[in-house]
Structure 1
Amino acid sequence: MSAPLPLPDRPLAEHLASLRAEVARARETRGPALAFDVATIDDRLADHGLDGAGLHEVAAATASLNDDAAATLFAAGIAARFASKRGLTILWALSKFDLYAPCLEQVGLGPDRILYAQGTKDAQVLAMAEDGLRDGSLACVIAEVKAADMTATRRLQLAASDGKTPILLYRRHRTRERCPLDTLSAAMTRWRIGCAESARLPHPGIGRPRWSVELVRQRAGNPFTLELEACDEQGRLALPAAAADRTTARRRAVAQAA
């Protein structure tokens, strides 16, 4: 006769139930897709935003430090908007810690919203990112790697789908000037970010930074390239003023013609 199974510890069971309820609330708060709130971008995206349960890749346009910083802040701004609801945090996994916290805070990603995880090699970074995705309680995961093959990106996409959590995979390092986005990937979207000349001011000074934002590939949609103003303190991109004026005028003309 087999021994009876031990009764579960009631406080532990209640604690687990509470944790599961928190995870469910975090998933509901985050929502299915994150719009850029820039019609010129959202109208060209298949999901009218970034899939909140998918893998999205980011790379710098060149190996320069300026483009590296632009790509980092592009990813940070997106993560900040995924974590805009109170109580949500992101996981930033990397193998070399060289982030500059004040710059991250300028795009809306304060230190109270980031959990850092450092590994010694890509395999550890990818494993930590996958664990964070499957946990399901994070607003977003950012992982910096030198390389990730199709198998690795498929695992991340599956983990993001299972945990209903988005991941931004920053393909940071280049080999002989070859763009890391030239390799195969299971990512939903792939972005290449570079610096552009800032707006001229009527007085001495530097205008708001601008980036060249290129969507290299997206599922069920076409690629495109735009010049945009860099993330503000809430992580939001914007059309340059002249382009925004032209867009508004065009919409008014269409409305009047109709």
Structure 2
Amino acid sequence: MPDAADGRDDRLAGMRRQLDDLACKNIVRQRTLPFGLSALDASLPAGGLRCGGVHEVGEVGPSAEYAALSALFAAAVLARLHGPVLWCLRGRDLFAPALVGVGLAPGRVVFAETRSDAEVLPAIEEGLHTRGLCAVVGEVARLGLTASRRLQLAAERSGALVIVVRRHRTVAGREAADDEPNAALTRWRVSPQPGAGPPLSGLPRARWLVELTRARGADTPLSWILDAPDATGRLRLPADLADRSLAPPQRRPRARVG
């Protein structure tokens, strides 16, 4: 019987060849990728997401295990970069048309499907050793301190943006990912909010609660209610919230004595 390690080496070699075919020799490396929203960019030390670093995004609630909104958040970020992307995942549940809806063209993405969650992190690191990639995405349930440090060092050497999509279960009413320390530069959480509607053509955009729960060199946590990404990958402050004046403070009635 063939050794399992040999099969894994064959898969990595095949992935290397595919990435080399797509690699852009003249890719322009960006140091920072701004969101284009002053509220978000001003809250980040670099004025946006730092390239050559690891960023983590998760989801809130029972849907956290499927991480649909987290994947859309990641895809919208990648849509504003130039060059090929490696997306590492364990299963085939990623809905490609939804990625197109937030601006990430399928021709830019190489999907690396692994047999287990444990093989995703090595696939991310292997991708970071490939020249020409602008970003690498990996979907994992856990991201420990040692593994995240390895990814951070590899990202710094390559200059590529790394987004780790956390697919975790809610434990005792709390998000397990919030309690796990790692070396990611930023940690984001995305959850749906009552809004205008789903992100479909001709209909108003959905609404998200975007939370920055941790960032090196920034005062956190912070949160914003935003319209979901458009076809160019850009988030937007809802017009009905942006133009709303602050509600006057309510005075409490004084308690009567005697």
TM tier, shorter chain? 0.7 to 0.9
Secondary structure at 2:112's aligned position in 1?
Answer: strand
Alignment CA distance shift 1:66-1:121 (3 Å): closer
Alignment of 1:135-146 (within 5 A): 135-146=130-141
Per the normalisation by structure 2, the TM-score is 0.78
Aligned position for 2:89: 94
Aligned position for 2:217: 220
Aligned position for 2:207: 210
Distance, in Å, in 2 between the alignment partners of 1:233 and 1:48 is: 23
2:151 is the counterpart of 1:182: no
Aligned position for 2:235: 237
Shift of 1:193: 0.4
2:99 to 96, 101, 104: 104
Greater percentage in helix: 1
Alignment-mate amino acid for residue 123 of structure 2: M
Retained in 1: the 8 A contact 2:65–2:167? no
Shift of 1:30: 3.1
Retained in 1: the 8 A contact 2:124–2:136? yes
Shift of 1:89: 1.0
Post-superposition Cα deviations, 1:28-54, rounded to whole Å, max 9, x if no partner, equal x13100000011111111110000110
Aligned position for 2:149: 154
Identity of aligned residues (%): 41
Q: State the superposition RMSD in angstroms.
A: 2.2
Q: Which runs of 5+ in 2 are unaligned?
A: 1-19, 246-258
Shift of 1:23: 6.4
2:45 is the counterpart of 1:50: no
Shift of 1:140: 0.7
Post-superposition Cα deviations, 1:177-221, rounded to whole Å, max 9, x if no partner, equal 542132001000000100001138xxxx96310100000000000
Alignment-mate amino acid for residue 48 of structure 1: G
Alignment of 1:78-93 (within 5 A): 78-82=77-81, 85=82, 88-93=83-88
Q: Which runs of 5+ in 1 are unaligned?
A: 1-18, 248-258
Matched positions, count: 217
Distance, in Å, in 1 between the alignment partners of 2:126 and 2:145 is: 18
Aligned position for 1:25: 26
Alignment-mate amino acid for residue 26 of structure 2: R
Distance, in Å, in 2 between the alignment partners of 1:66 and 1:121 is: 15
